Amino acid sequence: MAHAIDLSGQDILTYLKTHEHKDLLRFITCGSVDDGKSTLIGRLLYESKLVYEDQLAALNADSRKHGTQGEELDLALLVDGLAAEREQGITIDVAYRFFSTEKRKFIVADTPGHEQYTRNMVTGASTADLAVILIDARKGVLTQTRRHSYIVSLLGIRHVVLAVNKMDAVGYSQATFDSIVADYRKFAQQIGLADITCIPMSALKGENITDRSQAMPWHAGPSLMEHLESVQITDEYRGLPFRLPVQWVNRPNQDFRGFAGQIASGQVSVGDRIRTLPSGQEARVARIVTQDGDLPQAVAGQSITLTLDREIDISRGDLIVPVTDPAAVADQFEATVIWMHEDAMLPGRQYLLKIGTRTLTATIGIPRHKVNVNTLEQLAARQLELNEIGVCNVSLDRPIAFDPYRENRETGGFILIDKLSNDTVGAGLLDFALRRADNIHWQALDVNRAARSQLKGQRACALWFTGLSGSGKSTIANLVEKRLHALGRHTYLLDGDNVRHGLNKDLGFTDADRVENIRRVAEVSRLMVDAGLIVLVSFISPFRSERRMARDLLEQGEFVEIFIDTPLAEAEKRDPKGLYKKARAGSLPNFTGIDSPYEAPEHAEITIRTTETSPEAAAELIINELDKAGIIAYAYNNPLAGL
């Protein structure tokens, strides 16, 4: 079974050619902590003769220093490469390893068992064809076993090996094995896992890993390696409709224009009629260009450049599909979201969504429900915490082409990215487009923002005052509006306290409610700016993400961020409403600056330091800046000055 290379009497090129075209199986190992995943992979590498002499020497030394097997080799150390993993004896990161036998090549992802690293398991599972789910025979089916199995089911992995490990610790008991298998199959049936192969084994002792175990003659099935070599993995992507996410528009000279990318599914031939989405333009394939020359046909997994028989507008992120079987196009969806960050998912906050080669802005709604992975019960939720799975509505800033994830993993899966930190915070599966998106369209209006601003003789904009409670935002904003009113400008002041008496009276002060508070106010501000007004917004607005969201709703130069910079100690000293005193006493939870953060602006257009400037002087300074920017005295055909 082991792949020991013998080139005697062989032509090296023939040998390499043979092994280059061997079938490739991608699989993951997952399960609860200490189930023996790393030991299993280490055993597979060791038995496959892919551990070289220098690695064996290092393994010997590491086993004595970090090992958990006394004088024996600790094969888990072949995979656990991080210092923290060796010190703790656990897997933290996803470890990818390659090995091969005479029959097949393998890429295995060793994924963490701890609940806090479930996000890493999702990463490893996203490209896998098969999952090896380990269970410690002494412990049986645990919470993390169910969690990982549910994620395997969600991500569309059809083939599962239930590896009941550490059978040596239970005397190779068939009764123990049968009991665990019955328990697991009951849960697997609930989540739709059907193709399950159950194997009793001992990774530590090498039982049922590469060869069938003599210690468990009652097991009539294959060893793990026999199964991995023989399991039939159909190339599902070749049988799906053609999908090519455009990664790059290749224009080396005026005579060539091609659209490059890796085929996500299906196949394409010269002469095929294609459509580009979301624009809907059509053409025929003129050439299929590769590094090795032109092809008459290309299939899923190949990287190609298509040229067309006519010029149409295609950009990075577009999806090329066949005319006969196109993808759907929408900007609102129901999606299953797996949250992967320590900071909770906040409904209403904008995140970057990456699907295929396209990145755009997404807003996640309040979850319809989250899933208890132990019982599969659907629970009410206001947000999603780390490792939680829920169903949410997702709204995008523009339409995309997609397939439901259950039909095509490549064009139905996405990741969510925090706009400020660029951290990947979630993964998602598109379930279906919301029908309401088909019923809502932008209505063309003849009187626009520019016309309304010209009539008022001013440049419509939002003056966004932000700062701690007690910083003086409302006082300064009120003085600025009085000055603008005296100058004949058309204004409206949105104050945080006043808005919470009406529009936002249903919101509290949790992070999620603060996000929704600002989202609503930002939308109202946008409407007021569209009406040609100078709208003054005085809100703490503690999070940069929501202030950026408000800015993105408006055109360039229409959002003026005014940071009322007051140190916490000074704001607390003023405490005009007695709020800091209540917060310090514990009777006012989630108070900004005390037990809820305030993220100061990094690039505000105007900064007012109230320890140095009186409210009247601050208002005068702001008016002068607005005048310089052409907001107060506005000529419609003049260039806009930036702040």
The CATH class, in words, for 332-439 is: mainly beta
CA distance 632 to 643: 13
Band (pLDDT 50/70/90 cuts) for residue 40 is confident
CA distance 384 to 340: 9
Among the CATH numbers 2.40.30.10, 3.40.220.10, 3.40.50.720, 3.40.718.10, which is that of 237-322? 2.40.30.10
- The rounded mean pLDDT for the chain is 85
pLDDT of 82? 38
Fold (topology level) of 12-230: Rossmann fold (3.40.50)
pLDDT of 93? 57
CA distance 391 to 426: 13
pLDDT tens per residue, range 171-230: 999 999 999 999 999 999 988 888 999 999 998 888 999 889 999 999 999 999 999 999
* Residue extent(s) of CATH 3.40.50.300 domains in the chain: 12-230, 449-628
Task: Name the residue with higher pLDDT: 266 or 6.
Answer: 266
Please, how many CA atoms are within 13 Å of residue 52, restricted to the half-sphere of its CB?
1
Band (pLDDT 50/70/90 cuts) for residue 43 is confident
pLDDT of 121? 77
pLDDT at 469 over 50: yes
Residue 275 parent element (H or E): strand 273-277
pLDDT tens per residue, range 257-292: 999 999 999 999 999 999 999 999 999 999 999 988
pLDDT tens per residue, range 592-614: 989 889 999 989 999 999 999 99
Among 48, 541, 587, 614, which one carries the catalytic annotation? 541
Band (pLDDT 50/70/90 cuts) for residue 42 is confident
The CATH class, in words, for 449-628 is: alpha beta
User: Is 541 considered catalytic here?
Assistant: yes
pLDDT of 210? 87
pLDDT tens per residue, range 326-375: 999 999 999 999 998 889 999 989 999 999 999 999 999 999 999 987 77
pLDDT tens per residue, range 389-418: 999 999 999 999 999 999 999 999 999 999
Residue 362 parent element (H or E): strand 358-364
Kind of pairing between the strands at 273-277 and 319-322: antiparallel
* Residue extent(s) of CATH 2.40.30.10 domains in the chain: 237-322, 332-439
Q: Which residues does 221 contact at the CB level (< 8 Å), separation at least 6?
A: 197, 198, 199, 227
